[in-house]
């Protein structure tokens, strides 16, 4: 009796009580279940879609409003001159001009001048020299390997496809970098603009790609230029962020030195601030390039030709061997561009003295090899266009290999899959589906309130309310379930792996390196092994999500454990801790806030991947987005996208706040 009293009086019950009460109502009210045709309003928001969501109103008709706005932008003529769509299409045409040029250089050639595209030998040689210049022979080897692969395995035209993709990237990456840089600078110089930009960046970065693909289709159209514009929108936010961070972190003294030298505002910006922040800014460029690569496949959905397009077709046709070959090409390009741009970011200027040759060795080598290559190209056609006879393809062997591999593992994998479905995924799914929306709102609000911030509580409640009132509550809860299931598995894999890796310097290095490589893979690649192993099911989707989003879990665990101050560890050892006690009583509690941040990142990664996994047929929000994409329903795409973004932002706000409160309690700097 006393126990019950203390529970009732406790804070825990007070906070979670309403949620549990609303949940338990299912045992009293008959239509309080998902299988009911007319579920109770407190369980599922009225006017929500339950099965197929053809046209749904939602409690608040957000979709209709958005579509009305889109119509307005399409039709209304500003000053009676042009519509917003004309404006966006005009911009797209400018982009097209740049594209024409890069495409001509890389794969179309200039037919009117009777000049072909850049021969492969130039690209290969210059990449290798650039690798030497930026870091050394290892980088050069990587670049050389990458382009050699593209040339050698070009039986099905991988080289041409790669050049198409590179042509698109070489327009979108500089454009995104430039836009991000300008916005970043503006935000640093104008406080008010920063207040506007930050939340915009937050939403843009948590919006799934597909939801603005639809808008791009409406306002720009389809094809390469549309792909480029979608890529730019997707890729500029990290650049803006890193520019802001870089410029804000310049030491006060350096700025003062600039002012005391008598710099004008522009001199300050271009001669002091940007050069002093060049490393973070160049890391921003690196991020931009990676985002552009991630978009290679996604932009293919709106008709951008290139590697992504062919990869997609082969995935759809389940021609896994060919898909694998293209996948390797995408990964190699991704790793190469990543490492090259990272090397560029960290490159320090070097001191060279002597004559011109000694001062500019790489420039001279480049010029020299360009001359040699030109001769070679004119004399031997081999160097101009790599002959098809010499290309190879391993797709047949790969296909066979994959087939025999999956055949031999068919039974155990099948058992594993069914076991996962029956004992883990299905029960979890039904728990999430049984949660009433009113209860969930109160739940997130209660957590926000417990973290001590009324504003936080109201914000997250508003986010959840938006999802509930949009009409896609049931679908959203399936997405939440998929993300949660993946998070649990990621934690079960990632945390032990992180603990293991943090024990020795050498292990840490290896594991972090593997994480680095995995992170450069464009997300679509992860669908390949998933389909190979588990065909098409919830399990394969979750498998793909888990490999992709375990990375931050491992990374943050390692980081948290390795960053426990040496003094504290030494103090614990001298107090007589065993290895195990040291881990569980000292290191883990101190690393916990960092691990929470890792979980948060994992969640964001998982949310992203869930959307992509919709491609292999899950029935959550991602399926609806794909449907909206095929009907060009911009309003629906955007609203579902916002639902996904708000799922992410709700979790992000709560977890980050929790982690930083714990950190400040432990006395770490936040």
Partner 1 sequence: MNKEVKISCKNIWKLYGETPEKFLKNTNNNPTTEEIKQNNYIPAVRDASIDVNTGEILVIMGLSGSGKSTLLRCMSKLIEPTHGQVFFEGNDLLKASEKELIDIRRHKMGMVFQHFALLPHRTVLQNVAFPLEVQGQEIQKREERAKDVIKLVGLEGREKYYPRELSGGQQQRVGLARSLAVEPDVWFLDEPFSALDPLIRKEMQNEFLRLQSMLKKTIVFITHDFDEAIRLADRIAIMYEGLIVQVGTPEELITKPATDYVAEFTKDIPRSKLLNAESIMNEKDKKPYENTVNYSDKIEKIASKVLKSESIFSVVDDNKEVIGSVSKKELIKALFAEDKNE
Residue that the structure tokens 């594993």 belong to: 416
Residues 208, 620 contacting (CB under 8 angstroms): no
Nearest to 73 by CA among 229, 282, 275, 220: 220
CB of 261 to partner 1, least distance (A): 4
Assess 348 for contact with partner 1 (CB under 8 A). yes
Q: Mind spelling out the 3-state secondary structure of 404-454?
A: HHHHHHHHHHHHHHHHHHHHHHHHHHHHHHCCCHHHHHHHHHHHHHHCCCH
Near partner 1 in 36-55, by CB under 8 A: none
Cα Rg, the chain, nearest whole Å: 27
Nearest to 135 by CA among 295, 457, 327, 350: 350
Assess 358 for contact with partner 1 (CB under 8 A). no
Task: Report in angstroms the alpha-carbon separations of 345 from 44, 135, 144, 275, 549.
Answer: 51, 11, 20, 12, 26
206 to 245: interface string for partner 1, x by CB under 8 A: ----------------------------------------
Among 2, 35, 38, 264, binds partner 1 (CB under 8 A): 264
Neighbours of 130 (CB within 10 A): 18
Calpha distance 347→221 (Å, rounded): 40
Q: Binding residues for partner 1, how many (CB under 8 A)?
A: 21
Instruction: Report the residue number, 190 or 359, with the smaller CB distance to partner 1.
Output: 359
How many separate helices (H) and strands (E) can be counted in the chain? Answer: 31, 2
Among 349, 387, 412, 576, binds partner 1 (CB under 8 A): 349
Instruction: Report the residue number, 169 or 283, with the smaller CB distance to partner 1.
Output: 283
Assess 126 for contact with partner 1 (CB under 8 A). no
Q: In this structure, what are the phi and psi dihedrals at residue 115, rounded to the nearest 5 degrees?
A: -115, 135
Assess 261 for contact with partner 1 (CB under 8 A). yes
Near partner 1 in 271-310, by CB under 8 A: 271-272, 275-276, 278
Among 78, 141, 254, 431, binds partner 1 (CB under 8 A): 254
Among 256, 385, 418, 570, binds partner 1 (CB under 8 A): 256
Assess 260 for contact with partner 1 (CB under 8 A). yes
**Region from 122-130, 269-277, 435-443, 662-670 binding partner 1, contact rule CB under 8 A:** 269-277
Calpha distance 272→264 (Å, rounded): 11
Among 28, 30, 114, 253, binds partner 1 (CB under 8 A): 253
| Terminal Cα distance for the chain, rounded | 43
Among 182, 263, 269, 577, binds partner 1 (CB under 8 A): 263
Among 69, 259, 371, 666, binds partner 1 (CB under 8 A): 259
Give every CB contact of residue 201 below 8 A, 6+ residues apart in sequence.
237, 240, 241
Assess 356 for contact with partner 1 (CB under 8 A). no
Residues 324, 398 contacting (CB under 8 angstroms): yes
Among 6, 35, 38, 251, binds partner 1 (CB under 8 A): 251
Residue 258, both tokens:
């600039």
Assess 262 for contact with partner 1 (CB under 8 A). yes
Neighbours of 149 (CB within 10 A): 19
Near partner 1 in 604-663, by CB under 8 A: none
Instruction: Report the residue number, 352 or 388, with the smaller CB distance to partner 1.
Output: 352
Instruction: Report the residue number, 29 or 274, with the smaller CB distance to partner 1.
Output: 274
Question: Where do contacts with partner 1 occur on this chain (CB under 8 A)?
Answer: 251, 253-254, 256-257, 259-264, 267, 271-272, 275-276, 278, 348-349, 351, 353
């Amino acid at each position: 009796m006393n126990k019950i009293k203390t529970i009732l009086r406790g804070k825990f019950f007070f906070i979670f009580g309403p949620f549990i009460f609303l949940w338990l109502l299912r045992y009293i009210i008959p239509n309080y279940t998902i299988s009911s045709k007319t579920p109770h309003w407190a369980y599922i928001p009225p006017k929500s879609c339950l099965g197929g969501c053809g046209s749904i109103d939602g409690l608040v008709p957000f979709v209709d409003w958005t579509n009305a706005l889109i119509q307005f932008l399409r039709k209304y003529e500003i000053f009676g001159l042009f519509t917003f769509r004309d404006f966006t299409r005009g911009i797209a045409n400018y982009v097209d001009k740049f594209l024409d040029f890069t495409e001509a250089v890389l794969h179309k050639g200039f037919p009117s001048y009777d000049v072909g595209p850049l021969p492969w030998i130039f690209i290969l040689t210059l990449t290798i020299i650039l690798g030497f210049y930026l870091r050394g022979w290892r980088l050069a080897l990587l670049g050389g390997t990458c382009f050699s692969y593209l040339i050698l395995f070009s039986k099905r035209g991988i080289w041409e496809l790669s050049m198409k993709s590179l042509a698109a990237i070489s327009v979108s990456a500089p454009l995104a970098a430039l836009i991000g840089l300008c916005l970043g600078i503006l935000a640093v110089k104008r406080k008010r603009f920063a207040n506007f930009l930050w939340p915009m960046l937050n939403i843009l970065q948590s919006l799934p790609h597909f939801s603005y693909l639809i808008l791009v289709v409406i306002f720009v159209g389809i094809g390469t230029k549309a792909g480029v514009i979608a890529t730019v929108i997707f890729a500029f936010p990290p650049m803006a962020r890193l520019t802001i961070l870089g410029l804000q972190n310049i030491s006060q003294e350096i700025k003062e030195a600039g002012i005391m030298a008598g710099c004008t505002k522009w001199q300050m910006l271009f001669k002091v601030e940007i050069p002093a922040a060049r490393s973070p800014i160049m890391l921003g460029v690196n991020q931009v390039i990676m985002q552009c690569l991630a978009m290679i496949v996604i932009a293919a959905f709106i008709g951008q030709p290139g590697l992504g397009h062919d990869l997609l077709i082969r995935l759809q046709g389940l021609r896994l061997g060919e898909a694998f070959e293209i996948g390797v090409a995408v990964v190699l390009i991704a790793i190469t561009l990543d490492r090259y741009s990272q090397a560029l970011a960290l490159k320090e200027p070097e001191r060279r003295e002597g004559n011109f040759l000694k001062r500019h060795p790489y420039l001279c080598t480049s010029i020299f090899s360009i001359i040699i290559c030109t001769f070679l190209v004119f004399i031997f056609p081999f160097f101009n266009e790599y002959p098809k006879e010499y290309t190879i393809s391993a797709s047949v062997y790969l296909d066979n290999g994959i087939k025999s591999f999956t055949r031999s593992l068919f039974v155990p994998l099948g058992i594993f899959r069914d076991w996962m479905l029956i004992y883990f995924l299905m029960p979890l799914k039904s728990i999430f589906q049984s949660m009433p929306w009113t209860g969930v709102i109160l739940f997130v609000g209660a957590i926000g309130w417990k973290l001590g911030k009324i504003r936080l509580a109201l914000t997250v409640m508003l986010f959840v309310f938006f999802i509930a009132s949009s009409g896609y509550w049931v679908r959203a809860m399936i997405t939440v379930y998929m993300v949660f299931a993946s998070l649990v598995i990621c934690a079960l894999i990632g945390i032990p792996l992180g603990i293991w890796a943090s024990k020795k310097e050498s292990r840490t290095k290896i594991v972090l390196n593997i994480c680095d490589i995995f992170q450069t893979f464009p997300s679509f690649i992860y669908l390949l092994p998933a389909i190979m192993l588990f065909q098409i099911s919830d399990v394969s989707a979750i498998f793909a999500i888990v490999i992709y989003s375990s990375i931050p879990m491992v990374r943050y665990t390692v980081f948290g454990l390795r960053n426990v101050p040496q003094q504290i560890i030494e103090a614990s050892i001298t107090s007589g801790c065993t290895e195990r006690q040291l881990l569980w009583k000292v290191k883990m509690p101190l690393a916990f806030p960092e691990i929470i941040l890792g979980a948060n990142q994992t969640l964001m990664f998982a949310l992203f991947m869930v959307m992509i996994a919709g491609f292999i047929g899950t029935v959550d929000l991602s399926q609806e987005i794909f449907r909206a994409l095929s009907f060009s329903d911009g309003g629906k795409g955007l609203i579902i996208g916002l639902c996904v973004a708000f799922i992410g932002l709700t979790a992000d706000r709560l977890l980050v706040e929790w982690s930083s409160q714990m950190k400040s309690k432990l006395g770490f700097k936040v």
